[in-house]
Amino acid sequence: MIDNVIRTFKNLDNKDFRLLTGIELGMKDFEWVPVEEVKKFTKYPYKTLHHKLRLLMKNNLVIGTNLPYEGYQIYFDGYDALALNTFVKRGTISAIGVEIGVGKESVVHEAIKEPELSIGEPTPVIIKFHREGRTSFTQVKRVREHLAYREHFSWIYAARLSAKREYDIMKMLYPRVSIPKPIDHNRHAFVMAVAKGSLLAKTRLLDPEWFLDKIISQIMITYSFGVIHADLSEYNIFVYECGVQFIDWPQYINLDHPQADDLLKRDVFNVLAFFKRKYGIKRNTDDVVAYIKSKQ
Ligand SMILES: Nc1ncnc2c1ncn2[C@@H]1O[C@H](COP(=O)(O)OP(=O)(O)O)[C@@H](O)[C@H]1O
Ligand SMILES: [Mg+2]
């Protein structure tokens, strides 16, 4: 999907982005934004408008309908292109690179950030595009046929909320909790530093006890800020020479959450189960949870 955006992105001009923005704004009021509204916003003559819309549709950035009137919606890739364009304009990134991770609810890419004041080397950064609530193209087609538009586009709001939630909590926790530095946020995407080291799941540790202690200590520091990660596992923990970093925060909860105790216990359990399975280290979940709470 993003590959399509990357390919298409360099062929988009300011007029295309203005058009996409017009449709995006119109979608606050319309399920299908009438072509007249898009025209009012962009002030393009119909000929230009239709020419550009045709290309945007061909590239899957926009979808259109003629029934019951001529209207347009932004498609997933169009939304990605708008977020990317914002990051480029702000100077947060200058280029997007390869996909480095794809989960059920996100697509993660490498990107390049130019040095500040043009001093030094460009640095790699990470863009995470949220995908919550997103349905497949075939599903979208089916939904269109059944006229259940609202549900179809709820993904924009779900993904946007989730990206903001993740960015905000990372802003709050960084740098006291060891996480990649959050850099910028727009729409359903955010930019952060590259996590240090490699995924716990894919690393053979020489000193697992030491790393397990580091992980428990980070859970404890997070807890001291009133926060529980709530999706901790070997797939959301990076390990490097000097410690660990936690990623993937959108499902975090606060301590007043009704399931706070259960979710803390589950996080600890997941980590301990992994260390037992892979390294034969045995620690008791309840003891570790009690230890984390006792230090507050
Ligand atoms: N800051 C980062 N640095 C390096 N790799 C990352 C970073 N953030 C995410 N990734 C990679 O992308 C994958 C998916 O990201 P994650 O935040 O865990 O989202 P998901 O909810 O899809 O699991 C991770 O498992 C990891 O491989
Ligand atoms: Mg993850």
- Site to probe by mutation for ligand 1, drawn from 108, 200, 234, 245 as the one with most ligand atoms within 8 Å of Cβ, is 108
Contact 127, 93 (CB under 8 A): yes
- 207 in the same domain as 124: no
Residues 28 and 113 in one domain: yes
Predicted local confidence at residue 134, as pLDDT? 66
Say if 188 falls within a structural domain: no
- What pLDDT score was predicted for residue 153? 57
Q: Which domain holds residue 101?
A: 2-169
User: Domain check: are 158 and 269 in the same one?
Assistant: no
The average pLDDT across 41-50 equals 97
- The protein residue whose alpha carbon is closest to atom 11 in ligand 1 is 101
Residue 215 counted as domain residue: yes
Per DSSP, 232 falls in state -
Domains in the chain: how many in total? 2
Which tens digit of pLDDT belongs to each residue from 215-230? 999 999 999 999 999 9
Q: Are 158 and 221 within one domain?
A: no
In a domain, 24, yes or no: yes
Query: 56 and 158 in one domain?
Result: yes
Residue 23 has pLDDT above 50, yes or no: yes
Tens-place pLDDT, residues 202-214:
999 999 999 999 9
Do 162 and 251 belong together in one domain? no
pLDDT tens digits, 131-182: 887 655 445 454 444 444 455 456 778 889 999 999 999 999 999 999 999 9
Please tell me the distance between residue 49's alpha carbon and the centre of ligand 2 in angstroms.
41
What number is the average pLDDT over the span 12-35? Answer: 94
Residue 208 lies in a domain: yes
Q: Is residue 160 part of a domain?
A: yes
* pLDDT-based confidence at residue 94 (cuts at 50, 70, 90): very high
Q: What predicted TM-score, i.e. pTM, was given to this entire model?
A: 0.91
User: Ligand 1 pocket: which residues have CB below 6 Å?
Assistant: 100-101, 103, 105-106, 108, 126, 128, 180, 192, 194-195, 199, 235-236, 247-248
- 270 and 163 belong to one structural domain: no
∠ CA 69-70-72, rounded to 5°: 125
C-alpha 294 to ligand 1 mean position (Å): 31
User: How far apart are alpha carbons 188 and 246 in whole angstroms?
Assistant: 20
The token pair at 256 is 């007043």
Residue 54 CA to residue 259 CA, distance in Å, equals 50
